[in-house]
């Protein structure tokens, strides 16, 4: 049974990888794949009463409240969501790893202080903090990504901090010091390689979080602003047609769920493979 | 022991202080000038200046922080720029619905999560175990607001079984509490499962089994109270998770709590309200963690020794 | 003959958050090591010998005292200077598995000291690495493998290679063979002695095993709860141990030949917790010849023979008579 589960997990992870790859490809080749321009409002994209049209042969996924093709907006939306998600996650990883590494290696007063600050930041619910920051600063893709990164680095830092401490106490680190290695050398050549599995896992899991956060912020109207499409803001714009044109909400919603699920599964599998001692499932 | 309690209380106090400072800093670091916002577009510089003075914005930063802090201590969260009412009144009127929703959501999470976890632990390795675990995983990964929208659509709009959001009668609780409850149960079922597996492996369980006790009694009397220990701490953290989703959930279900308040404030960029809700959530999280940390040693004697 | 190492009144305290009293791991130790000689430090676990070893190289900071390496006060050195100094004073650790970075190849591990301290061309570096790996008894093909592919004894050879590649003047070996099988121990000991002679090393050999130290050391110091209780040239110590603790340790060495067997001195009790060190002479609760004085006044290391120092009231009094 255990081997069955292992195989299943691997297969599932493989499927996730494929799905993610497809979404990535769609995002990269958006101009080639999208049947129409995402911002073009078609006269025949709305009914006579001005309501969105259901999926048909011309507009495969229907149109939105302004008569724009949903499929095209969805494909370009993948681009936005992924760009913001990856950028935000990248910054969060960089920031979190650096801070956690330094705090964990130097320890002492500086280390505790840094960790107190992270405790403080964890007292705020991520979404509300992101909302506050997003409301304060003027909107733009970059700002949204940075806001998300500001909220997400904390968890990474804490994990890296604990791990760095554990690794620093291992004898080979002391041995490196005894041969005269500088702190920088120890951090980069000895400790960082041991952190790679964790960084990889969090890199994957983190994208799920950042993509979701971006979708949520956009859904609330303070993330990526229209007309630039993002899966979240498509739902936001078309809320009022929720009952009459549910596909406008469901399809982007499904896309978001799929992406988040895939990254989560992938990250979870990675974690089980790379570090079976951590909070795995068995 | 007393040492531990005092230390945790002091820690919580410090964090609350820090939280208040951060919210204060954000509030006053705004590029938007609150005085201008309140005065309106057509106001003269003198009006703006007098409003400034009224709000105390011309005082040095530390003095402003002190005012802010002392106001907070008295429950004064300032005034909304746009609604011209005290923020604290707004929050007071809306915190009830939020807390009651949180209560029921966590209750359902526990009921579903703990049963699923125990069920799964007992059928470890079998198909039913896998099904439960996969479902838990999906529950954790799925974004709350999208699932809420789906649920609302299917059960309220299409099937018409429930009202489409709103508040007032018990039936209004069902969809939001169930949705949140099922989604949140994923965490609990996973932790309960591994905790239960560990406990069931222990020798004293084997002894009970050897004595011929029926499995249900074993679980009830012996296993459960040991396996449930890590869950207690999680409840405190759960409050934090709940606070995190409160804005979207309440806006989707039309729930008149502080989350919806914040959502409305977001649309109008009414900063003091947003800040107040953030602050209140942070306080709830700190208190939740504190309670979890304080209960833990009583429930698990091993922690006491630390 | 100058001293490669001089410790004066070195003390190391550890503070724990739970107990208010500090744990004195090393209590006021002074000793000298002549160039080219080998000092053995013997004691049970908790005696502070490992701490002393690390203090000698300033791998940990002393709470008090002076440490001089080759007439340079280590405590005055800034970090960069201290690091440079490290190429001349090296440590061999007890557990060869944990002291080697599992993610680095043997080549990387052994080259690291060269990379840090010397600026060699790749070919020169490779030559040095290959030379040293064969010197410690392994094949060149080992260089491209990883630590987990080797046995304990082989890993210790790798550690030794790493320690001596830069031609240090002083090597401190902290229980280098304790983690190894007995059959391997003598091989590694022989390797250490060969290297010592080839490279003219000054050596500090820390161990809990007296029989091991006997063969390799010129001088032996016996430690108990942070103090040196007796120090003497090796053969003197073994033929004429004066401190009761030393006598007990020696009597416990299993001897095959019947004539060499000494009647076992069994000490009462266990080694106490260093946080709760007994007053006066640390050893008095377990000492078979303790008198009243021993529980209140701490004895000092006094000369009790040629180059022989002991810290015991009774021995010191006997000698002065």
> For B96-106, how does the pLDDT look when each residue is reduced to its tens digit (9 = 90+)?
889 999 999 99
Would the pLDDT of B56 be above 80?
Answer: no
More confident residue, B212 or B41: B212
* Rounded CA Rg of chain B: 24
pLDDT band at A97 (very low <50, low <70, confident <90, very high): very high
Q: In degrees, to the nearest 5, what angle opens at C-alpha C159 toward C-alphas C158 and C162?
A: 90
Contact A215 B281 (CB under 8 A): no
Check: CB of residue B132 under 8 Å from CB of residue B186: no
Q: What subunits make at least 3 CB pairs under 8 angstroms with A?
A: B, C
pLDDT band at C253 (very low <50, low <70, confident <90, very high): confident
Check: CB of residue C62 under 8 Å from CB of residue C259: no
DSSP codes, C95-111 = -TTTTS-TTS-HHHHHH
pLDDT of residue A4: 56
pLDDT of residue A112: 84
Q: In degrees, to the nearest 5, what angle opens at C-alpha B296 toward C-alphas B291 and B301?
A: 155
pLDDT of residue A265: 87
Would the pLDDT of A279 be above 70?
Answer: no
Would the pLDDT of B161 be above 80?
Answer: yes
Residues of B in contact with A8 (CB under 8 A): 130
Mean pLDDT, chain A, integer = 85
Mean pLDDT, chain B, integer = 80
Domain carrying residue C89: 3-320
* Exposure letters B183-203 (e unless 16+ CB within 10 A, then b): bbbbbbbbbbbbbbbebbeee
Which residue, among C99, C109, C178, would best test binding to A if mutated, counting the most A CBs under 10 Å from its CB? C99
Check: CB of residue A232 under 8 Å from CB of residue A215: yes
Q: What is the mean pLDDT of residues B45-57?
A: 71
pLDDT band at B43 (very low <50, low <70, confident <90, very high): low
Contact C113 A190 (CB under 8 A): no
- State how far the Cα of A258 lies from the Cα of B110, in Å rounded to an integer: 27
Contact A257 B267 (CB under 8 A): no
**Of the spans A40-44, A263-267, B267-271, which averages the highest pLDDT?**
A263-267
**Chain A nearest-CA residue for C95:** A171
DSSP codes, C101-170 = -TTS-HHHHHHHHHHHH----HHHHHHHHHHHHHHTT--GGGGGS-GGGS-HHHHHHHHHHHHHTT--SE
E-only strand ranges, C175-292: 202-207, 219-224, 227-233
- State how far the Cα of C132 lies from the Cα of C117, in Å rounded to an integer: 17
Q: Which of B126, B140, B117 is nearest to B199 (CA)?
A: B117
Tens digit of each residue's pLDDT (9 = 90 or more) over A229-265 = 899 889 888 888 888 888 888 889 999 999 998 998 8
Would the pLDDT of C91 be above 90?
Answer: yes
Q: What is the mean pLDDT of residues B194-208?
A: 81
Would the pLDDT of B18 be above 60?
Answer: yes
- State how far the Cα of A281 lies from the Cα of A268, in Å rounded to an integer: 9
- State how far the Cα of C256 lies from the Cα of C258, in Å rounded to an integer: 6
**Of the spans B64-73, C45-54, C294-303, which averages the highest pLDDT?**
C45-54
Residue found by looking up tokens 């992270």 in the block:
A118
Residue found by looking up tokens 């602003």 in the block:
A225
The residues near B258 (Cβ < 8 Å, ≥ 6 apart) are: B91, B94, B95, B98, B246, B250, B277, B280, B281
Three-state DSSP state, C207 = strand
More confident residue, C21 or C37: C37
Q: Which of B15, B130, B267 is the closest to A119 by Cβ?
A: B15
Residue found by looking up tokens 């004085």 in the block:
C293
pLDDT of residue B229: 76
Q: What subunits make at least 3 CB pairs under 8 angstroms with B?
A: A
- State how far the Cα of B252 lies from the Cα of C108, in Å rounded to an integer: 58
Q: What is the mean pLDDT of residues C64-84?
A: 90
- Reported ipTM: the value is 0.84
Residues of A in contact with B194 (CB under 8 A): 281-282
Would the pLDDT of B298 be above 60?
Answer: yes
For the record, the structure tokens of C44 come out as 């049970």
Which residue, among C17, C61, C83, C172, would best test binding to A if mutated, counting the most A CBs under 10 Å from its CB? C83
A178 touching C (Cβ < 8 Å): yes
More confident residue, B7 or C18: B7
Q: What is the mean pLDDT of residues C287-304?
A: 82
DSSP codes, B130-147 = HHHHHHHHHHHHS-HHHH
Q: What is the dihedral of CA A178, A184, A187, A190, to 10 degrees?
A: -50
Taking the model in full, what pTM does it have?
0.83
pLDDT of residue C9: 92
Residues of A in contact with C163 (CB under 8 A): 179
pLDDT band at C90 (very low <50, low <70, confident <90, very high): very high
Q: What is the mean pLDDT of residues C190-218?
A: 90
Would the pLDDT of B142 be above 50?
Answer: yes
Tens digit of each residue's pLDDT (9 = 90 or more) over A155-192 = 899 999 989 998 998 999 999 999 989 999 999 999 99
Range with the poorest average pLDDT among A278-282, C48-52, C76-80: A278-282
Contact A123 B285 (CB under 8 A): yes
Three-state DSSP state, C255 = coil
Q: Which of A8, A132, A212 is the closest to B274 by Cβ?
A: A132
Contact A179 C86 (CB under 8 A): yes
pLDDT band at A96 (very low <50, low <70, confident <90, very high): very high
Would the pLDDT of C20 be above 70?
Answer: no
Contact A179 C90 (CB under 8 A): yes
For the record, the structure tokens of C257 come out as 């030949």
Chains C and B, touching by 3 or more CB pairs within 8 angstroms? no
Q: Which of A140, A147, A207, A243 is nearest to B164 (CA)?
A: A243
More confident residue, A243 or B47: A243
More confident residue, A71 or B85: A71
The residues near B119 (Cβ < 8 Å, ≥ 6 apart) are: B128, B132
Q: How far is A237 from chain B (nearest CA, A)?
A: 13
Q: What is the mean pLDDT of residues B194-210?
A: 81
**Chain A nearest-CA residue for C54:** A178
What does chain A come to in residues? 282
Question: What 3 state SS string does chain A have?
Answer: CHHHHHHHHHHHHHHHHHHHHHHHHHHHCHHHHCCCCCCCCCHHHECCCCCECCCCCCCCCCECCCCCEHHHHHHHHHHHHHHHHHHHHHHHHHHHHHHHHHHHHHCHHHHHHHHHHHHHHHCCCHHHHHHHHHHHCCCCHHHHHHHHHHHHHHHHHHHHHHHHHHHHCCHHHHHHHHCCCCHHHHHHHHHHHHHHHHHHHHHHHHHHHHHHHHHHHHHHCCCCCCCCCCHHHHHHHCHHHCCCCCHHHHHHHHHHHHHHHHHHHHHHHHHHHHCCCCCCCC
Other CB atoms closer than 10 Å to residue B75's CB: what's the count? 10
Q: What subunits make at least 3 CB pairs under 8 angstroms with C?
A: A
Q: What is the mean pLDDT of residues A10-36?
A: 87
- State how far the Cα of C45 lies from the Cα of C32, in Å rounded to an integer: 23
Q: What is the mean pLDDT of residues C218-247?
A: 90
Would the pLDDT of B10 be above 80?
Answer: yes
Q: What is the mean pLDDT of residues B20-31?
A: 73
Q: What is the mean pLDDT of residues A82-94?
A: 93
- State how far the Cα of A16 lies from the Cα of A173, in Å rounded to an integer: 38
Q: How far is C240 from chain A (nearest CA, A)?
A: 37
pLDDT of residue C65: 92
| Sheet with C170-174, edge to edge strand ranges | C89-92, C170-174, C202-207, C38-42, C219-224, C227-233, C308-310, C302-305
Q: Which of A122, A219, A282 is the closest to B145 by Cβ?
A: A219
pLDDT band at B301 (very low <50, low <70, confident <90, very high): low
Percent of chain A exceeding pLDDT 70 equals: 94
Residues of C in contact with A188 (CB under 8 A): none
- State how far the Cα of C111 lies from the Cα of B40, in Å rounded to an integer: 71
pLDDT band at C267 (very low <50, low <70, confident <90, very high): confident
More confident residue, C13 or B298: C13
Distances (CA, A) of C51 to B75, C159, C218: 56, 20, 21
pLDDT of residue B290: 84
Check: CB of residue A219 under 8 Å from CB of residue A232: yes
Report the number of distinct structural domains present in chain C: 1
More confident residue, B1 or B245: B245
Backbone angles phi, psi at C182, to 5 degrees: -60, -40
Q: In degrees, to the nearest 5, what angle opens at C-alpha C158 toward C-alphas C156 and C159?
A: 65
pLDDT of residue C233: 92
Three-state DSSP state, B82 = coil
Strand-pairing partners, residue C232, are C220
Range with the poorest average pLDDT among B1-10, B134-143, C255-264: C255-264
Q: How far is B278 from chain A (nearest CA, A)?
A: 6
Which residue, among A123, A211, A212, would best test binding to B if mutated, counting the most B CBs under 10 Å from its CB? A123
Q: What is the mean pLDDT of residues B137-150?
A: 86
pLDDT of residue B34: 61
A108 touching C (Cβ < 8 Å): no
Other CB atoms closer than 10 Å to residue C127's CB: what's the count? 12
**Chain C nearest-CA residue for A172:** C99
Q: How far is C292 from chain A (nearest CA, A)?
A: 44
pLDDT band at C249 (very low <50, low <70, confident <90, very high): confident
**Chain A nearest-CA residue for C108:** A189
pLDDT band at A2 (very low <50, low <70, confident <90, very high): low
- State how far the Cα of A226 lies from the Cα of A239, in Å rounded to an integer: 14
Q: What is the mean pLDDT of residues B182-202?
A: 86
- State how far the Cα of A233 lies from the Cα of A198, in Å rounded to an integer: 32
- State how far the Cα of A230 lies from the Cα of B258, in Å rounded to an integer: 27
Residues of C in contact with A180 (CB under 8 A): 83-87, 113, 116-117
pLDDT of residue B39: 60
- State how far the Cα of C41 lies from the Cα of B192, in Å rounded to an integer: 52
For the record, the structure tokens of A2 come out as 């255990």
Residues of C in contact with A193 (CB under 8 A): 103
Range with the poorest average pLDDT among C59-63, C185-189, C301-305: C301-305
**Chain A nearest-CA residue for B142:** A257
For the record, the structure tokens of A59 come out as 């507009």
DSSP codes, B245-274 = HHHHHHHHHT--SHHHHHHHHHHHT-HHHH
CATH number for the domain spanning C302: value is 3.40.50.300
Q: What is the mean pLDDT of residues C58-78?
A: 91
**Chain A nearest-CA residue for B187:** A281
Tens digit of each residue's pLDDT (9 = 90 or more) over B205-258 = 788 778 877 777 777 777 777 777 778 778 877 888 888 788 888 888 888 988
Contact B194 A281 (CB under 8 A): yes
- State how far the Cα of B191 lies from the Cα of B118, in Å rounded to an integer: 10
The residues near B160 (Cβ < 8 Å, ≥ 6 apart) are: none
Contact C112 A193 (CB under 8 A): no
Check: CB of residue B224 under 8 Å from CB of residue B122: no
Q: How far is A35 from chain B (nearest CA, A)?
A: 26
**Of the spans A44-58, A61-75, C108-122, C264-278, which averages the highest pLDDT?**
C108-122
Tens digit of each residue's pLDDT (9 = 90 or more) over A103-161 = 999 888 888 888 888 888 888 888 888 888 887 777 788 888 988 998 889 989 999 99
Q: Which of A220, A242, A243 is the closest to B248 by Cβ?
A: A220
Would the pLDDT of C214 be above 50?
Answer: yes
For the record, the structure tokens of B37 come out as 């916002």
């Amino acid at each position: 049974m255990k081997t069955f589960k292992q195989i299943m997990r691997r297969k599932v992870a493989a499927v996730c990888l494929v799905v993610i790859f497809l979404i990535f490809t769609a995002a990269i080749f958006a101009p080639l794949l999208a049947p129409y321009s995402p911002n073009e409002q078609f006269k025949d994209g709305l009914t006579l009463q001005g309501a969105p049209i259901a999926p048909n042969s011309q507009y495969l996924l229907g149109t939105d409240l302004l008569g724009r093709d949903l499929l095209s907006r969805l494909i370009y939306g993948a681009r936005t969501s992924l760009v913001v998600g990856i950028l935000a996650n990248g910054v969060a990883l960089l920031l979190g790893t650096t801070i956690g590494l330094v705090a964990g290696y130097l320890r002492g007063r500086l280390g505790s202080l840094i960790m107190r600050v992270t405790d403080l930041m964890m007292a705020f619910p991520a979404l509300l903090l992101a909302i506050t920051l997003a409301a304060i600063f003027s909107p733009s893709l970059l700002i949204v990504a940075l806001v998300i990164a500001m909220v997400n680095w904390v968890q990474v830092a804490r994990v890296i901090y604990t791990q760095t401490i554990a690794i620093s106490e291992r004898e080979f680190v002391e041995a490196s010091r005894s041969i005269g290695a500088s702190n920088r050398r120890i951090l980069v050549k000895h400790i960082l390689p041991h952190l790679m599995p964790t960084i990889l896992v969090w890199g994957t899991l983190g994208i799920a979080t950042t993509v979701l956060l971006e979708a949520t912020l956009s859904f609330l109207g303070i993330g990526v602003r229209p007309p630039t499409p993002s899966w979240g803001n498509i739902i936001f714009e078309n809320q009022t047609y929720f009952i009459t044109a549910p596909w406008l909400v469901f399809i982007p919603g499904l896309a978001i769920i799929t992406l988040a699920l895939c990254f989560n599964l992938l990250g979870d599998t990675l974690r089980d493979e790379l570090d079976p001692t951590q909070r795995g499932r068995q | 022991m007393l040492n531990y309690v005092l230390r945790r209380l002091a820690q919580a106090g410090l964090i609350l202080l820090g939280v208040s400072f951060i919210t204060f800093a954000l509030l006053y670091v705004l590029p938007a000038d609150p005085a201008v916002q309140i005065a309106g577009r057509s106001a003269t510089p003198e009006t703006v200046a007098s409003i400034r003075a009224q709000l105390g914005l011309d005082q040095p930063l530390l003095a402003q922080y002190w005012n802010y802090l002392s106001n907070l201590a008295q429950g004064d969260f300032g005034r909304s720029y746009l609604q011209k009412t005290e923020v604290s009144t707004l929050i007071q009127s809306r915190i009830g619905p939020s807390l009651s929703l949180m209560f029921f959501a966590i209750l359902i999470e526990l009921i579903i999560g703990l049963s699923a976890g125990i069920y799964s632990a007992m059928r470890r390795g079998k198909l039913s175990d896998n099904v439960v675990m996969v479902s838990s995983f999906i529950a954790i990964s799925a974004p709350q607001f999208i699932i809420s929208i789906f649920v609302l659509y299917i059960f309220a709009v299409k099937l018409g079984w429930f009202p489409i959001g709103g508040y007032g009668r018990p039936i209004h609780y069902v969809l939001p509490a169930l949705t949140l409850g099922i989604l949140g149960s994923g965490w609990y079922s996973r932790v309960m499962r591994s905790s239960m597996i560990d406990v069931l492996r222990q020798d004293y369980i084997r002894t009970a089994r050897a004595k011929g006790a029926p499995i249900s009694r074993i679980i009830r009397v012996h296993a459960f109270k040991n396996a449930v220990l890590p869950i207690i701490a999680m409840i405190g953290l759960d409050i934090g998770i709940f606070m995190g989703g409160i804005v979207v959930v309440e806006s989707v279900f039309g729930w008149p709590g502080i989350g919806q308040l914040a959502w409305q404030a977001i649309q109008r960029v009414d900063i003091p309200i947003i800040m107040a809700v953030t602050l209140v959530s942070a306080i709830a999280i700190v208190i939740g963690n504190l309670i979890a940390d304080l209960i833990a040693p009583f429930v698990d004697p091993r922690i006491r020794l630390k | 003959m100058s001293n490669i190492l001089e410790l004066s009144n070195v003390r190391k305290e550890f503070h724990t958050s739970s107990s208010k009293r500090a744990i004195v791991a090393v209590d006021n130790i002074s000793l000298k090591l002549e160039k080219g000689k080998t000092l053995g430090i013997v004691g049970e676990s908790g005696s502070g010998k490992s701490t002393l070893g690390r203090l000698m190289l300033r791998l940990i900071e002393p709470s008090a005292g002076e440490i001089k390496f080759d007439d340079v006060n280590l405590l005055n050195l800034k970090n960069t200077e201290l690091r440079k100094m490290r190429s001349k004073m090296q440590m061999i650790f007890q557990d060869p598995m944990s002291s080697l970075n599992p993610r680095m190849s043997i080549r990387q591990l052994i080259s690291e000291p060269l990379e840090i301290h010397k600026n060699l061309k790749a070919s020169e570096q490779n030559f040095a690495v290959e030379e040293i790996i064969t010197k410690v008894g392994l094949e060149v093909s080992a260089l491209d493998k990883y630590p987990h592919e080797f046995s304990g004894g082989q890993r210790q050879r790798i550690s030794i290679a790493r320690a001596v590649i830069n031609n240090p003047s002083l090597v401190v070996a902290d229980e280098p063979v304790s983690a190894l099988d007995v059959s391997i121990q003598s091989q590694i000991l022989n390797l250490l002695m060969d290297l010592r002679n080839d490279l003219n090393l000054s050596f500090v050999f820390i161990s809990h095993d007296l029989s091991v130290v006997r063969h390799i050391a010129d001088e032996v110091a016996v430690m108990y709860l942070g103090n040196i209780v007796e120090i003497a040239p090796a053969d003197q110590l073994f033929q004429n141990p004066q401190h009761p603790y030393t006598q007990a340790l020696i009597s416990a060495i299993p001897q095959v030949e019947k004539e060499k067997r000494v009647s076992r001195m069994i000490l009462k009790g266990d080694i106490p917790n260093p946080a709760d060190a007994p007053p006066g002479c640390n050893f008095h609760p377990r000492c078979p010849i303790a008198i009243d004085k021993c529980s209140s006044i701490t004895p000092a290391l006094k000369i009790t023979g040629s180059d022989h120092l002991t810290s015991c009231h009774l021995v010191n009094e006997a000698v002065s008579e």
